[in-house]
Amino acid sequence: MKLSTFKLLVPIVAVTIQSNSSSTVIPPYLDHMRIPVALIGTLISLGPIFALMARLPIGMLYQRGKARWLVSLAILAMGLTNYCYSFATSSWSFAVVHCLNGFAYSAVTTLYMAFYVDSLSPDENRNHAMGYYVGCLAVGYSTGNFLGGWIADHWGYPWTFQLGALLSFVAVALLWFLHGPSGEAAAQGKAKETAKLSLRESGRALLEPQLATVVLVALFLNLLHQMGGVFISLYGLGVGMTLTQIGVIRAAYAGCNAVTRPISGHVVNKVGHKGLSYFGLPLQAFILMLVPLFTGFGTIIAVYVASGFMRAIVLVANAVGLVQDVPETKVRRGLASGVYNAAGDLGNIMGPSIGGLIAHATGIASVFVIGSLGSTALFLVGVLLVRRMGAKGQGPASGV
C-alpha cells in the first residue's frame, strides 16, 4: 500500500467506528426507553430508508474540486446527529434524529467513496486499493461494535453517542491533515470538472450496462448477506445453540471479512473481477444452502465463515468493477458511487423482508435454501438481460 493511499483510508475508518459504535447500542437503548419491540424494528428501519433516498441526489452533487469540503460537511452533520441521539428520549424524537443520521451517513459514504477513487495516485493498483477500502470499512465495523458496547457498559448510552460524535472532528482533521495526491493528478481532475448533472443525463447514465452489472451484484450480495445474518441467529437457537455460540459465529464471519477484504485484491488480479462477480455470488449462495444440513456448532461456523470468505472476495471484485468498467466519461464518479451504495441499501432492506416471508411460509431452515436459490436465479436472469442490453446498445460489430 502506498503511503498516500493509507492517508486516504484513515478518516473513513474513524467514520465507520463512529457509525457502528452507535448502531450497536441503538436496539438496547430503545428497549431501555421501554419502546415496544414491534416499534423498535420500525424505528431502526427508518435509517436505511432515508440513506437510500439520499444516495442519488448526493451523488449528483459530487464535484472533484469541492469534494473535500463536501465530505467534511457531511461528516460533521453525521457527528451532530450522533450527538443528538443522547437527547432523543421518545419514539418521535428518536425517529427524527435517526432519519437525519441515516441521510448524513449516506452522504458521507457516497461522497467519500468517489473522493477516495479520484484521489488515488495514478500509479496505485486499483484492485488492491479497492480491497484496502472495503477492508478498512470492515475494520471500522468491528472496532465500532466493540467500543460501543464497552462504553455503554461502563458509562451509559448517552456517553456512547456523545463520545462517538467527537470522532467526526477527528475524521475531518485527518481528512485535511493527511492530504492525498496533489499536483498534476489534482489539476487533471479539476480540468475534467464540468457543470452539474441534469436529471436527463443522470437517467441516461443509470442505463449504462457496465453500471447495471455492478448494481446487480451489489444488490444481491447485500440481500444474501442480510438474509443470512438475520436468520443464522434464529436457526442457531432452533438447533440448541447458546447465544454465546451464535455470537462467536457472527464474530468469526465479520473477522473473516476484515481479514479477507484487504488481500482480495491479489485474488482479483489473478482471476479477474468479472469472473469473480458473475460466479462468486452463486457460489456464496450455494455455500449458504449447506447450513440446514448441519446442527453442530463446529460445522455451522465452518460453513458460515466460508460464505463470508466468498462474500469478501466478490465485494472487492465488484468494487474494482465499479472503478475499472464504469467509464467516467459516461457516468460521473459521484453518481456511480451513489447508485452503487443505493443498491447495497436496497439489498439490506430486502434481505430480511424476503427472508421473513420465506421463514413464515416454510420455516427458518428453508430461508437458506429457497432464499439462496431464488436470489441466484434472479441474479443470473438479471445479468443475462444486462448483457443483452449492452449488446443491443453496441449495435452490429464491425470488422472481423
Asked if residue 182 has pLDDT above 60, the reply is no
Judge if 1-196 and 199-400 fold alike in CATH terms: yes
Rounded Cα distance, 322 and 340, in Å? 8
Asked if residue 395 has pLDDT above 60, the reply is no
C-alpha angle 394-333-327 in degrees, rounded to nearest 5: 25
Confidence at 101, pLDDT banded by 50, 70, 90: very high
Rounded Cα distance, 188 and 169, in Å? 30
Rounded Cα distance, 318 and 222, in Å? 12
pLDDT in tens, 358-377: 888 888 899 899 999 999 99
Looking at CATH, the fold of the domain delimited by 199-400 is given as: Growth Hormone; Chain: A; (1.20.1250)
Residue with cell 460464505: 307
What's the CATH number for 1-196?
1.20.1250.20
Higher pLDDT, 29 or 269: 29
Residue with cell 425517529: 95
Mean local confidence (pLDDT), 30-58: 81
Q: What is the DSSP letter of 368?
A: I
Select from 61, 70, 69, 79 the least CA-distant residue to 19. Answer: 79
Q: Answer yes or no: are the C-beta atoms of 347 and 359 closer than 8 Å.
A: no
pLDDT in tens, 317-331: 888 888 777 776 677
In the chain, what are the domain boundaries? Answer: 1-196, 199-400
What is the structure's pLDDT at 316?
85
pLDDT in tens, 291-315: 999 999 999 999 999 998 898 888 8
C-alpha angle 139-340-252 in degrees, rounded to nearest 5: 30
Instruction: Write down the pTM of the prediction.
Output: 0.74
